[in-house]
Amino acid sequence: MVITSTMLKKLRRKARLTQKKLAELAGVSQAHIAKIELGKVDPRLSTINRILEVLTEGKKRKCKDVMVERVLFVKPNDTILKVSEVMMRHAISQMPVLSGNRVVGTIMEESIIRNLSSKIANEKVKNIMGPPLPMVSEETTIDVIRPLLERQQAVLVARNREIVGIITRSDLLKTIG
């Protein structure tokens, strides 16, 4: 199969990538992509392979590309009143529960609502929290977390075992288009 400049341009457009974005993902300049598409340069095989890898989705979007970096945490002894105020202020529906540097659970809107009573405001997080959210590496591709988000509200993103981000279902919806 002969790979032509026209074919690369069609693949780029089909992938809905600009020349600039393709260049960034393939590790070359936008000007170089433009010259390749116009047939003005004869690129190296390694460059073509990187471009094709991006265009055929071999280089999938990674968690670090879509995660929300500022993760808000709560402690097991925090009150539900405090947690609900933070959730409302930041428009979030779940928060990881940290004990020291370790994630020990998750407090969700759903759990709070399920336990609504006249005494809920003073209840401790540890008494109604659920299990910890799944944790993945920032290098994990979005395809890997998609099935996790069918069963979970969110996934935590880690770098060297330190939490650096979170991806919720709504964050994944933002990747459309």
pLDDT tens readout for residues 84-114? 999 999 999 999 999 998 999 999 999 999 9
The pLDDT tens digits of the residues spanning 134-160 come to 999 998 988 889 889 989 999 999 998
Residues of the chain with CATH 1.10.260.40: 5-59
120 residue type, one letter: I
| Residue 59, pLDDT above cutoff 80 | no
What value does the mean pLDDT take over residues 49-66? Answer: 79
Per DSSP, the three-state class of 63 is: helix
pLDDT class of 57 with cuts at 50, 70, 90: low
CATH assignment, 5-59: 1.10.260.40
Alpha helices in the chain (DSSP H): 5-14, 19-26, 30-38, 45-55, 63-66, 80-90, 109-114, 142-151, 169-173
Residues of the chain with CATH 3.10.580.10: 64-173
How high is the pLDDT of residue 49? 87
Residue in 119, 139, 140, 138 with CA at minimum distance from that of residue 128: 119
Instruction: List C-alpha distances in Å: 119 to 80, 114, 123.
Output: 10, 13, 7
How high is the pLDDT of residue 11? 87
How high is the pLDDT of residue 4? 87
Handedness of CA 139, 171, 70, 161 (dihedral sign): negative
Q: What topology is assigned to 64-173 in CATH?
A: CBS-domain (3.10.580)
Where is average pLDDT lowest: 5-9, 13-17, 117-121? 13-17
